[in-house]
Amino acid sequence: MHGARDHGLPIRRLASASFLLLVSSFCGALQAQPQKVEGASPGIYTCTDARGRTLTADRPIAECSDREQRELNPSGSTRRKVEPTYTARELQEREDRAREAAIQTARLTDERRRERALLVRYPNLATHDRERSEALAQIDAVTQAARKRIAELTEDRRKIDEEMEFYKQDTSKAPGAVRRKLEDNTQSVAVQNRFIAEQEEEKKRVNARFDEERVRLKQLWSPQNGGNPR
């Protein structure tokens, strides 16, 4: 009897150890399995090709390499956007277009700024007409001063001609002082006439500027833009 019990105890211990080893191996296998992480599943790629077709695939779509693609989650939400693949020439063209767009934007911004400044300066037609008249009046005042100076030079020339009357047969015999006065007078008259001609050109430029502004201001003053042309 004693012999049977003595031999049975090691057998039961061996069986218990084998069971524990089996349980441990099973738990280790469970722990070794990868855990499912949200968003780790393969995405779905979608795009609209050059022919307007909506394409989908489980990898980036070759037909849409020249345009943006979207990678979707299984739920249909956008995981990320895939930028197009460009050649060196396409990249240069994109840069050129972006540069031109920036120039256009800057030009429009500057134009809007100038329009706002124009409206602040000329809120209505009467203000614009008044400033035009004032600008032209200043030019006329300068021109009138030049004409007055010519009238003075004309009177001086009459006196010089009287002195030269004695030497009309041979002006080279006239005194040097008289000849110099005649030359100075002639040059001064020419200067004043040239100055008057420049003022007339300035009047044309002023009128052209105000005419151009008036065309633009009529649009800005229109009721559609909330303006008041009066």
pLDDT of 154 reads: 96
Task: Establish if 24 belongs to a structural domain.
Answer: no
Residue 73 sits in the same domain as residue 132: no
- Counting the structural domains of the chain, the total is 3
Rounded to the nearest 5°, which phi and psi values hold at 101? -65, -40
Cα(210)–Cα(203) distance, rounded to whole angstroms?
11
Model pTM?
A: 0.53
* 85-94: pLDDT as tens digits: 877 888 898 8
Q: Is the CB of residue 217 less than 8 Å from the CB of residue 124?
A: no
Tell me: do 178 and 107 sit in the same domain. no
- pLDDT tens per residue across span 147-204: 999 999 999 999 999 888 888 778 788 888 988 999 999 999 999 999 999 999 999 9
Same domain (yes/no): 99, 165: no
What are the average pLDDT values for consecutive 10-residue runs of the chain, which has 230 residues?
A: 46 52 46 44 88 92 90 91 85 90 95 93 95 97 96 94 84 86 94 97 97 94 64
User: Who's near 81: CB < 8 A, 6+ residues apart?
Assistant: 68, 69, 70, 71
* 202 and 131 both lie in a single domain: yes
**Long-range contacts of range 200-207, CB-CB < 8 Å, 24 or more positions apart?**
200/143, 202/139, 203/136, 203/139, 203/140, 206/132, 206/135, 206/136, 206/139, 207/132, 207/136
Residue 205, SS3 per DSSP: helix
pLDDT for position 170: 81
DSSP string for 90-113: HHHHHHHHHHHHHHHHHHHHHHHH
Tokens representing residue 218 in the block: 């009529």
| 117 shares its domain with 130 | no
Tell me the torsion sign for CA atoms 213, 214, 219, 222: positive
Q: What is the pLDDT of residue 153?
A: 96
Alpha-carbon gap, residue 1 to 225, rounded angstroms: 117
Residue 12 lies in a domain: no
Longest dimension (CA), the chain: 178
In a domain, 6, yes or no: no
- Asked whether residue 110 falls in the same domain as residue 133, the answer is no
154/185 Cα distance (integer angstroms): 8
In a domain, 7, yes or no: no
What is the domain extent for residue 168?
123-225
Number of CB atoms found within 10 A of residue 77's CB: 9
Are residues 128 and 116 part of one domain? no
